[in-house]
Amino acid sequence: MIKKYDFLVIGSGVAGMSYALQVAASGKGKVALICKTSIEEANTAKAQGGVSSVTNFAVDDFEKHIQDTMVAGDFISDPDAVRQVVEGGPAGIERLVNWGVNFDRKPDGTFDLHREGGHSEFRILHHADDTGFEIQRGLIEAVRRCPQIEVLENHFAVEIITQHHLGVRVTRRTTDIECFGAYVLTPEGRIDTYLSKVTLMATGGTGAVYATTTNPNIATGDGIAMVYRAKGLVKGMEFVQFHPTALYNPAERHPAYLITEAMRGYGGILRLPSGEEFMQKYDERLSLAPRDIVARAIDKEMKIHGIDHVYLDVTHKDAEQTKAHFPNIYAKCLSIGIDITKDYIPVVPCAHYMCGGIDVDLNGQSSIHRLYAVGECSHTGLHGGNRLASNSLIEAVVYAEAAARHSLSVIDTLTYKDNVPEWNDHGMLTNEEKVLIAQDVKEVESIMSTYVGIVRSDLRLHRAWERLDLLYEETEHLFKRTVATRDLCELRNMINVGYLITRQALERKESRGLHFTIDYPAHALDANKA
């Protein structure tokens, strides 16, 4: 079956919905919003901490936020991207509020701002400790009110539809490839052809390729893998952010429950089981150091002492204030026998955020014409070597606006592609093959966690490469001779993403930002000075 839409949006987090709402408001065409599962399930909903934006101009300003972002990114962030996001932040917050998102406010009506690691000022807007859930709620309600947006739940994009076109302009960061839509797996198991004038990739992150992650299970890097297979440019994949403080609970590893960084901003102290503090050995900012420094410090202390977690302590804070600020974390920990007002919280680092992805320009355009990418699946250059806390949600909102503005400026010049072949779906999966797919998923998670984790080496990375290559050959053979199922497609995507992380980690011959390797422990700039 062939379907046609002016705008095809693949992904329903804050990035995809923000874009969909803006292009729909223009009245320039029909929008399809592809949701892999339900519209409620997205990385956005898992973001507890908040959204960073300069709003209190009495003490804060854009230059401070820019500097904080550049420092956290180890000075390889794109300055133009940083400025665009920071200066576009207040307008982005206003759009969220207008769509119905609520942020906590003080009695005088001003925003109740938090401060998180790496930020020099209080500039984190939040809604208790479930900010992402509140943003997702507000946007879902706005999307459901919009008749121009067709929400397609339990639809899975298998591949984007592309073709080389010699008439398009080729530059250093663009190809001669054009995107005309995507092949989409329906709930009935049929793969339909979705043609579009403009396609937006907003498929979220890659955390599910690791054994322990704060991401939902659907975060298998689908958009990045699809664009990579279509010969699009993918960058910065070596920069995987491991959140330093996921709740240590062996019963919940995938996804693990996130203990927001705002709790360290609130005054939480990292401690060993003995009660001893340790962050003073690693950074003068102590527990408020950027995430990569904190994650490596915890990882090292765990190895030194032979322990499988450390602790976060807020018992010195006012109990009622703690409950008011972090009601969901309080309830969650209490459900497993931990009263955070009296007990230390066991925490451990785990995969959290992908700073790399589909390379895009300031308009959110990828290297493939007519294809945009926004949100965690994109590489805007904002995060550089490490994402500054709470910069991701505002990046998604600002770049969604930029992509919407640009795609609306060209939509009237674009047409649908004729004679696109329908998907050739044949064969069937046996029960034995289904079991093997499930086992291969676990193997990818194990390979990535063991060899491509917080601390890396060439030996570990080459070992990961070799094992992923074997899985790739087996999976591609299976894919070519059987029916395409979501499980099989997700496995393909996980292998592609694991390969990209590993390859780009091998290519970076320095330790920088989130990428730390024992073979090249020096920063390249420092090594050149020596």
Question: Does the annotation count 291 as an active-site position?
Answer: yes
Report phi then psi at 115, rounded to 5. Answer: -125, 140
Give the tokens for residue 453. 């984790």
Nearest to 127 by CA among 200, 49, 36: 49
Distances 372 to 12, 68, 191, 197 between C-alpha atoms, Å:
15, 27, 23, 11
CA distance 365 to 383: 17
Distances 483 to 423, 426, 434 between C-alpha atoms, Å:
11, 5, 12
Give 447: exposed, middle or buried? Use CB within 10 Å, 0-12, 13-18, 19+: buried
Tell me the HSE value of 127 on the side-chain side, using a 13 A CA sphere: 19
Which residue among 291, 467, 492, 508 is the active-site one?
Answer: 291
CA distance 467 to 487: 20
Tally of CB atoms within 10 A around 362: 16
Sign of the CA dihedral with 239 first, then 243, 244, and 249 last: negative
Tally of CB atoms within 10 A around 2: 11
Alpha helices in 212-317 (DSSP H): 222-229, 262-265, 291-305
* Cβ contact 242:293 at 8 Å: no
Give the pairing type, strands 177-185 and 124-125: unpaired
CA distance 113 to 264: 14
Q: In angstroms, what is the C-alpha Rg of the chain?
A: 22
Instruction: Point out the residues that are catalytic.
Output: 291
